[in-house]
Amino acid sequence: MAKELVMGIDVGGQSTKLGVVNEEGEIIAQTVISSLQEELIDYITELTKAIKTLIADTAKEGKVKGIGIGAPNGNYYNGTVEYAPNLKWSYDGHGNPTIVQLASLVKSFTNLPVTVTNDANAAAMGEMAYGVARGMKNFIMITLGTGVGSGIVINGEIVYGHDGFAGELGHTIAIRDGRQCNCGLKGCLETYCSAMGVRRTAQKILSQNPDKPSLLREVDFETISSKDVFDAASKGDEIAVEIFKTTGQILGRSLADFVKFSAPEAIVLFGGLAKAKKFFHDDMVAAMEENQLQIWKGRIKILYSSLKDSDAAILGASALAW
């Protein structure tokens, strides 16, 4: 009998990664396509071509029985991607974001069952099935990438809420009337504790300390990246170190409030910015403990994803398809 396989697809703002996963949770084949198409039909054409190629390539290993997709603003209930600001093909041609029937479209062209969830939920499923959250029933996954996403697990299940959109912790207000966010609100956690947030904090601290030397002054001010800040901090640059300290403090305060909601066993941090943990971890934990209720002080584990970024998302999305 042919082995059963599933496909996991991670739709990112820049690229879409596809992987075929076996029952042992190994990615036995993978490929990547661009996510930058302007027209939906072009994106779907390329995507379904890649799916079919990958299925053909793994046919001797087993039969792909379903597809799980993690996508920004992916909705588990409807199989849609709704109002995703970073995906051009999800706009209507007049600059208005629309509702893309992603599951239904991919199913139409592949004749396979397709399930969609948002990218942070997919990452949480990946950690629960194969990563640091293995065996955990209650944890909160925070993805620190270009933005800040979240996947909340309660009693071993992803929280989808009434409408499928639960877990937008990146848009809880970290600082009232703070920085303008793409979502329209002000002071969202995402405007401070994402790659973009680190850039803004860097620009602010550099501007506020014009006389203080920093390696970051050698980088183009407008495009400072969190990688630039990481490299400078690694060389002991004081301003870079302060940028991460500030980031950690703001994140820690928000994490304390998240705990008050679902009393998780752990918070799992994931994504590009999590790689700078040695520069923000201590300040984050100190701020979290300072803002924590007595019953939880010192009791909530902070874990960092052990999976490769792309693997967690592919594995998590694939878990939807089993």
Which residue ranges make up the site for its own copies (CB under 8 A)?
82-83, 137-138, 152, 154-155, 157, 159-169, 171-173, 175-176, 183-185, 253, 256-258, 260-265, 291, 293-296, 299
In this complex, which beta carbon is closest to its own copies, that of residue 27 or of residue 250? 250
Which of 266, 269, 267 shows the shortest CA–CA distance to 280? 269
Give the nearest distance from C-beta 192 to its own copies in angstroms: 13
Give the nearest distance from C-beta 172 to its own copies in angstroms: 4
Judge whether 253 and 172 are in contact, CB under 8 Å: no
Give the nearest distance from C-beta 185 to its own copies in angstroms: 6
Distance (Å) of CA 110 to CA 51, 94, 114: 8, 29, 9
Give the nearest distance from C-beta 288 to its own copies in angstroms: 12
In this complex, which beta carbon is closest to its own copies, that of residue 3 or of residue 297? 297
In this complex, which beta carbon is closest to its own copies, that of residue 5 or of residue 259? 259
In this complex, which beta carbon is closest to its own copies, that of residue 82 or of residue 228? 82
Beta pairing class for 99-100 and 148-154: unpaired
Give the nearest distance from C-beta 127 to its own copies in angstroms: 16
In this complex, which beta carbon is closest to its own copies, that of residue 131 or of residue 167? 167
Q: 119-147: buried (b, 16+ CB within 10 Å) or exposed (e) per residue?
A: bbbbbbbbbbbbbbbeebebbbbbbbbbb
